[in-house]
């Protein structure tokens, strides 16, 4: 059973579903709910995902059945049917996805069945009421429905094609930049990838994604249900992986994919050496200022499980920062928490991070206080300083209270604009370092 959450870093399943559809080129959501849900939820991602914008058909452009109190009493299926019919006339899309809100699910409307009547016109229906859970649930609901209903059967698999799952548009504020780097890296070892949401990928590519030899799930939480749907319907096996950030993460990622697809290790190693050499040729630029000004920091990471370990490992293993505390906000089960905690065994710095699971944003400060001797106004005090908080936008106040530097990476991010940048891979980690260090020199 879920509990209340203080300052949740999520919208609901419908929000995640809308954001996921908005990530697909020329896809159009049709929301069966009260009039405000679609616009408000899409608006959350417009402002809180690095000003991602409304997209092709977001915000108040989203077709909505706009049900009211009388529909709550008499049902809204007829209204939805009328709305779909007129949407097809008015709006030009390659895929129409009917999504449902809480109201119509409680009264028992069968929106998926109504959508089914328009199947020949590229309409699919997905049940996505907010009470299903957080945004990640909406992502999986939409993509599993796509895997079951839109992706075409492909009896012959291409041994060097993979699908990338678990990267939730908008919830990963840097999703496009991240996916483009992952696609580039996989291309270097000869692997074609469907990433769904990057520039140049279309609904046609998604329809053909059934020919992949492997699905890679880059998150411990999202993407698993979709991978299961692909396995079920298209017989594609899946592998849990991780968002690769920086040399350590990317090396592990490419070696894992290479091994799974039977790619020659020599080829992968050759690519890794070239990429690492590229990475260090740029990292070298900050060696002097890093050393002269002492840019080593205590790192406090507060993020969802998709980013938390990946960021911590980069900061600790690659950058040489001191990983003090990492707080994860999206894993609830005890077993899953222990499994995730175990993943930190690959942190190879002398100091290991304290790993906590905390849904309530305000509690992170308490966990930090418990983790460090209090200042009792003694003459000499070993403070948790200099520190750097890498979290979501909500952690800005935490950083202020700690006197720490701050960079917002995890959703929500509303204090900076994100266009094509990403933090994945070698190139993304250089961008991450630019952003981290820019904050340290910004006042000059």
Smallest separation (angstroms) from another protein to the CB of 137: 10
What interhelical angle do 175-188 and 246-261 show, nearest 10?
Answer: 50
Tokens of 93: 């899309």
Toward another protein, which CB reaches closer, 13 or 224?
A: 13
Query: Within positions 21 to 50, which residues make up the interface with another protein, using CB under 8 A?
Result: 26, 28, 31, 34-44, 46-48
Smallest separation (angstroms) from another protein to the CB of 34: 4
Pairing of strands 387-392, 405-410: parallel
> Is residue 62 near another protein by the rule CB under 8 A?
yes
* Residue 387: strand pairing partners: 298
Query: Within positions 141 to 200, which residues make up the interface with another protein, using CB under 8 A?
Result: none
* Residue 298: strand pairing partners: 322, 387
> Is residue 129 near another protein by the rule CB under 8 A?
yes
Tokens of 344: 């930190």
Using a 10 angstrom Cβ sphere, with 0-12 exposed, 13-18 middle and 19 or more buried, the burial of residue 3 is: exposed
Which range of residues in 4-12, 240-248, 299-307, 417-425 is near another protein by CB under 8 A? 4-12
Tokens of 163: 């699908």
Cα distance between residue 201 and residue 24, in whole Å: 8
Toward another protein, which CB reaches closer, 253 or 406?
A: 406
Toward another protein, which CB reaches closer, 8 or 160?
A: 8
> Is residue 90 near another protein by the rule CB under 8 A?
yes
Query: Within positions 105 to 124, which residues make up the interface with another protein, using CB under 8 A?
Result: 106-107
Q: Looking at 23, 93, 177, 246, which residue binds another protein (CB under 8 A)?
A: 93
Contact assessment for residue 44 and residue 130, using Cβ atoms and an 8 Å cutoff: no
Residue 68: how many other CB atoms lie within 10 Å:
13
CA 4 centroid distance within chain: 22
Cα distance between residue 355 and residue 165, in whole Å: 25
> Is residue 222 near another protein by the rule CB under 8 A?
no
> Is residue 72 near another protein by the rule CB under 8 A?
yes
Cα distance between residue 136 and residue 123, in whole Å: 22
Query: Within positions 364 to 423, which residues make up the interface with another protein, using CB under 8 A?
Result: 392-394, 396-397, 411-412, 414-415
Smallest separation (angstroms) from another protein to the CB of 29: 10
> Is residue 439 near another protein by the rule CB under 8 A?
no
> Is residue 8 near another protein by the rule CB under 8 A?
yes
């Amino acid at each position: 059973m879920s509990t209340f959450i203080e300052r949740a870093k999520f919208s609901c399943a419908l929000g995640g579903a809308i954001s996921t559809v908005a990530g697909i080129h020329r896809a159009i959501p049709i929301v069966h709910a009260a009039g405000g849900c679609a616009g408000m939820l899409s608006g959350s991602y417009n402002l809180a995902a690095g000003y991602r914008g409304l997209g092709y058909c977001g915000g108040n452009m989203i077709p909505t059945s706009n049900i009211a109190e009388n529909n709550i009493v008499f049902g809204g299926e007829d209204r939805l049917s009328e709305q779909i019919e007129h949407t097809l006339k008015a709006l030009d899309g390659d895929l129409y996805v009917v999504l449902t809100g809480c109201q119509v699910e409680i009264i028992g409307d069968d929106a998926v069945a109504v959508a089914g009547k328009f199947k020949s016109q590229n309409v699919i229906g997905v049940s996505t009421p907010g009470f299903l859970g957080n945004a990640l649930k909406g992502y999986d609901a939409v993509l599993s429905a796509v895997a079951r209903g839109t992706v075409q059967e492909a009896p012959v698999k291409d041994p060097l094609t993979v699908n990338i799952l678990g990267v939730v548009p908008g919830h990963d504020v840097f999703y496009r930049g991240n996916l483009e780097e992952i696609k580039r890296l996989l291309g270097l070892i000869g692997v074609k990838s469907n990433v769904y949401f990057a520039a140049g990928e279309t609904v046609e590519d998604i329809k053909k994604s059934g020919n992949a030899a492997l699905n890679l799930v880059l998150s411990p939480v999202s993407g698993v249900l979709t991978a299961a749907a692909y396995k079920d319907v298209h017989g594609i096996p899946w592998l849990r992986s991780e968002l690769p950030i920086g040399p350590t993460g990317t090396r592990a990622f490419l070696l894992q994919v290479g091994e799974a697809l039977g790619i020659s290790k020599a080829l992968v190693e050759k690519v890794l050496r070239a990429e690492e050499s590229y990475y260090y040729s740029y990292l070298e630029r900050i060696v002097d200022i890093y050393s002269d000004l002492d840019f080593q920091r205590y790192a406090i990471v507060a993020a969802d499980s998709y980013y938390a370990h990946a960021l911590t490992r980069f900061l600790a293993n690659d950058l040489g920062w001191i990983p003090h505390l990492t707080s994860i906000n999206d894993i609830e089960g005890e077993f899953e928490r222990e499994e995730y905690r175990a993943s930190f065994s690959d942190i190879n710095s002398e100091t290991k991070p304290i790993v906590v699971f905390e849904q309530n944003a305000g509690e992170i400060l308490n966990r930090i206080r418990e983790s460090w001797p209090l200042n009792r106004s003694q003459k000499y005090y070993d403070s948790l300083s200099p520190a750097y908080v890498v979290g979501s936008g909500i952690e800005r106040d935490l950083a202020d209270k700690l006197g720490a530097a701050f960079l917002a990476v995890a959703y929500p991010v509303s204090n900076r604009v994100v266009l094509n940048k990403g933090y994945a891979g070698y190139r993304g980690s250089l961008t991450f370092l630019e952003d981290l260090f820019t904050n340290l020199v910004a006042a000059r």
